[in-house]
Amino acid sequence: MRLRQAVTAAAEELAALRDGAREANGRTSLLVRVRDRLNLSAIDARRPATRDACVAADGDAGAGGVVTQLRVLTQRLDRAEEALRRLEETAPAESERRAAQTALAARIPIVTSLIERTLQDPTMRVSVVLATRNRSSSLRTAINSVREQDYPVWELVAVDDGSTDDTPTVLSEAAATDDRIVVITRPHRGVGAARNAGLAAATGDIVCYLDDDNVLQPIWLKAVVWAFERQVGLELLYGARVKDSEVWWEQGDDALPHLNFEPFDRARLEEGNFIDLGVVAHRRGLAEARFDESLNGLGDWDLLLRMTGDRVPLALPVVAMVYFTNAPGRITTSGRQQEADPLVRAKLARRQARAR
């Protein structure tokens, strides 16, 4: 029971730290409060005596005995203390990051409201690259989200990567009713190759991306054109996304959709991707705008690492898309990302070594 109470106390305090509720009290007081709640000092003082007493009473030092259980508990407490120490060290930077994230997110309704009321001459053409395979059930919704855009000058380059369901029928019907939809059918070679085929066929001034299980917000293409028109030298930007909850069986805030949008941080991007491909827009023809077809996952992360190697993207405070988590066969849950992770990091390390 005591261990359960200690774990519960730790979880509550660490959650409060992540949510920013304890930031005003300072990291030192947080550490003291957690140690007091867990009674770590008393546990430290009693460890030897408790172990000796158990050995004398039980005499069992085997794998299933009390001594082994105490040893495991000691190791767990040591790890908890080390994790708490790391949190103490990183709390100031995390607090600053969250403050910047909050300030950036607060600009979304302001910028969105202005763009909604801006009259635009449709001088730029936007290409939306959509790679799809065996997702006919959600594909229509994705396509319709492009057709419902507030900005009319676009083309949707839909690449069927060897589907075996009725995806070809869905695509052909869409193309027959809207000449802005271009369909490319090819044998199955993976999402990277499919996206490269879409990039090769794209004719727009600007390129955006869409997955077949997500939807674009109606204002997104208009916002993209607005940003590129205002900044002539701009080559790359990203927006915000609303992500559906993956813990729908829970209750409270964790079961609600949430916003993903953070200021650009190259160092953080090198640690792991925090920008979804569906919120990215870039000028067509960027030298780095090609996917590594050898990667079975994390191709978007690899692309962003290369595209931001010598340029800083604009963080555009507009919600670009809604990201759903209930589609079957998602790369995120397939294990392919874990397999690709060391490959992407190795590529980054080689580029960094060449740049030295």
- Mean model confidence pLDDT for the chain: 84
Picking from 306, 291, 296, the residue whose alpha carbon sits closest to that of residue 342 is 296
- 97 vs 4 pLDDT, higher one: 97
Q: Give the pLDDT of residue 54.
A: 47
Q: Render the burial of 81-114: b for 16+ CB within 10 Å, e for the rest.
A: beebeebeeebeebbeeeeeeeebbeebeebbee
Q: Say what the pLDDT of residue 219 is.
A: 98
Element (H, E) at 76: helix 66-106
> For residues 62 and 337, what is the distance between their CA atoms, to the nearest angstrom?
40
Q: How confident is the model at residue 317 (pLDDT cuts 50, 70, 90)?
A: very high
Residues in the chain: 356
Confidence of residue 61 (pLDDT cuts 50, 70, 90): very low
Contact (CB, 8 A) for 137 and 340: no
Mean pLDDT over 195-202 rounds to: 98
Q: Do the beta carbons of residue 184 and residue 195 sit within 8 Å?
A: no
Higher pLDDT, 6 or 220: 220
CB 317 within 8 Å of CB 226: no
Average pLDDT over residues 50-60: 50
Maximum distance among all alpha carbons in the chain?
86
C-beta of residue 294 within 8 angstroms of C-beta of residue 195: no
Q: Is 62 exposed, middle or buried (0-12, 13-18, 19+ CB in 10 A)?
A: exposed
Give how far the C-alpha of residue 222 lies from the chain's centroid of Cα atoms, to the nearest Å. 23
DSSP structure class, residue 252: G
DSSP secondary structure letter of residue 293: T
Please say if the pLDDT value at position 340 is more than 60. Answer: yes
Residues 6+ apart with CB under 8 A from 186: 159, 160, 161, 162, 193, 194, 197
Q: What is the DSSP string of 305-319?
A: HHHTSS-PPEEEEEE
- Give me the amino acid identity at 166: D
Are 127 and 284 in contact by the 8 Å Cβ rule? The answer is yes
Residue 12: the pLDDT is: 64
For 104-112, what is the mean pLDDT?
Answer: 96
Roughly what angle, to the nearest 10 degrees, separates helices 108-116 and 220-230?
Answer: 90
What does the block give as tokens for 67?
């001594």
Phi, psi of 213 (to 5 degrees): -110, 10
For the segment 123-138, the average pLDDT, to the nearest whole number, is 95
Question: Could you identify the residue written with the tokens 């920013």?
Answer: 20
Q: State the Cα–Cα distance between residues 254 and 245, nearest whole angstrom.
A: 7
At 202 the pLDDT is 98
d(C-alpha 14, C-alpha 22), whole Å? 9
Q: How confident is the model at residue 66 (pLDDT cuts 50, 70, 90)?
A: low
Q: Is the pLDDT of residue 28 over 60?
A: no
